[in-house]
Amino acid sequence: MATENKNLSQYDKNTIPNTKGLRFGIVVSEWNDNITSGLYNGALQALLENNVPQEDIVTWYVPGSFELVYGSKKMIQTQNVDAVIAIGSVIQGETKHFDFVCEAVSQGIKDLNVQTDVPVVFCVLTDNTMQQAIDRSGGKHGNKGTEAAIVAIRMAYLKTSV
């Protein structure tokens, strides 16, 4: 397992670009909200810790991970953000629904990155079990939301500096 014995939340704050003047969007799935709320809290805290003012963080909620693509697209179109973090959690069940949702969301977010000038960060856990999701949303492997926020900062900086 790639994250075994690795905390996803650790980063060197001295290597993070200046966030002055940057605006961030976070689109959060309400499905598996016990997981997505942990991811959201990690992302929000990382943005705040890296000097992004609360008023420069826009948060929207959508019903499920499938809807993250549309929510991210509308946020890009209407909120003048420099990066969007798409937060979701899809946990394997007994049917192929997991495969279809994971494929659609990852392709949709990829498409937004190709079609727009605003980076959309993929923070969608695609786990086999609830425990794996717990471990990555503030548990023993840290918080993937924190990692996504750091990626968003780096990508927003790239967008505005090139």
Q: What is the pLDDT of residues 42-70, one digit of tens each?
A: 999 999 999 999 999 999 999 999 999 99
E-state strands within the chain: 24-29, 57-62, 83-91, 120-127, 137-139, 142-143
End-to-end CA distance of the chain: 36
- The yes-or-no verdict on residue 20 having pLDDT over 60 is yes
- The rounded radius of gyration (Å) of the Cα atoms in the chain is 15
Q: Where are the domains of the chain?
A: 35-161
The percentage of the chain sitting over the pLDDT mark of 70, rounded to a whole number, equals 95
Q: What was the pLDDT predicted at 89?
A: 98
| Mean pLDDT (whole number) for 129-144 | 94
> Residue 162: which pLDDT band, with cuts at 50, 70 and 90?
confident
HSE-CB at 113 with a 13 A cutoff on CA atoms is: 16
Higher pLDDT, 11 or 84: 84
| Mean pLDDT (whole number) for 17-27 | 96
- The yes-or-no verdict on residue 1 having pLDDT over 50 is no
Q: What was the pLDDT predicted at 102?
A: 93
For residues 18 and 157, the answer to whether their CB atoms sit within 8 Å is yes
Burial 111-127 (b: 16+ CB within 10 A, else e): ebbeeeebbbbbbbbbb
Q: What was the pLDDT predicted at 5?
A: 54
- The yes-or-no verdict on residue 121 having pLDDT over 50 is yes
> Residues with catalytic annotation?
97
Assigned CATH for 35-161: 3.40.50.960
| Mean pLDDT (whole number) for 130-136 | 95
Q: What was the pLDDT predicted at 6?
A: 57
Looking at every residue in the chain, the average pLDDT score rounds to 93
Please write the tens of the pLDDT for every residue from 69-120: 999 999 999 999 999 999 999 999 888 888 899 999 999 999 999 999 999 9
